[in-house]
Amino acid sequence: MSMKINIFGMFITEIATHISAYGLPKFRAGQIAKWLYQHDVDDFDDMTNLSKNDRLLLIEHFVIHKVLAEATEQSADGKTSKYLLRFHDGVAVETVLMRQSYGNSVCVSTQVGCAMGCVFCASTLNGVTRNLTAGEILAQVLYVNKLLQQEQAHVNTIVIMGAGEPLANYDHVVNFMRLCHEEYCLNLSYRNITLSTSGLVPEIDKLATEGIPVTLSISLHAPNNEIRSQLMPINNRYPLFEVMAAANRYAQQTGRQVTYEYVLIADVNDQAHHAKQLVTLMRGRLANVNLIPVNPVIERGLLRPSKKQIQLFEQILLERKINVTVRREMGTDILAACGQLRHKVLTESELKANCDTE
């Protein structure tokens, strides 16, 4: 017996190729795509504008893989929701909904876990299990979108900043962004998508040539090579100034301003002299600095700077005409930082398993 093909996550052209092999007319692909992506249907029998025979053929040869919610947490202010979503093979990832003044933003994961090893991030604590497919990344967005539709709302922006290094899963992530842009899917402008990377230089250069002008966000987190290497092992492969040069090339080729994320960690990279080094680094760039007070991860032992220290750091940048914002804290009461909820659930599962065997 042949294995059924997962049709979810395919472009119309791919759907047409697959269904025509079983005798279905190619024009059905457009109808199927709209059922999958616009109407969130997960049962071929619900595709009512297809004939009964066509639906039977689809049921016989294809399957629709989406997600199930394993755990959900809501912030006290109701603005942030975090979901641990499980795929058909049992692995789970985190997805976060942030209700902003400018609309609803969903933060998606691109890998199960992460291999980058950044010391301030919980996503790396259990390593990386596998890449997600374009369809699995899209399923996260559509899960949140379906919930929002109950409130007569929808997803306005997507940030690819969840677990994993997006550019280490390059092809699937690019296909995901292209699929979101398609009229039969979310019809989302590329300008409403932000991709965050720890700095894979060849992939940044490749992304600049794709013709998809998404906003690039560089995980900088340090004003010099020494500190960045301590915080981010990837800096030993692609040093700070190589990453900055690639970001410059991206800005020049796409005309899009690059955002530099800077996690502020007490007594590590938050002092006045660090701010002044960052100013030197940022001068003359089409860029914005986003300061992010660290979300404490117990296993890492890293502390958040005082409010006064955060304000001092910001003020040094503002006085020297550097575009800077301080990320508004959302969801700190529900472990909204990357990997925290998944790590909590995995740890609890391991503890339960140990107890069951004792």
> Catalytic residues, which ones?
94, 338
Spell out where the chain has E strands: 5-6, 62-63, 68-74, 80-86, 92-100, 103-107, 111-113, 128-131, 155-160, 193-197, 215-219, 258-264, 287-293, 324-326
Cβ-contact 231, 189 below 8 angstroms: no
| Look-up of token digits 């025509």 | 20
> Using CA atoms, how far apart are residues 127 and 111, in angstroms rounded to an integer?
10
Closest to 157 (Cα-Cα) out of 98, 216, 213, 73: 98
Closest CA to 277 of 328, 242, 317, 329: 317
* Residue 208 and residue 163 in contact, taking contact as beta carbons nearer than 8 Å: no
Q: What's the rounded Cα separation, in Å, for the pair 344 and 122?
A: 10
Q: Could you tell me the sign of the dihedral formed by the alpha carbons of 227, 232, 237, 240, in that order?
A: negative
- Residue pair 345/113 in contact (Cβ under 8 Å)? The answer is no
Cβ pair 201, 167 in contact under 8 A: no
HSE (side-chain half, CA atoms, 13 Å) at 268: 24
Asked whether 343 and 126 are in contact (CB, 8 A), the reply is: yes
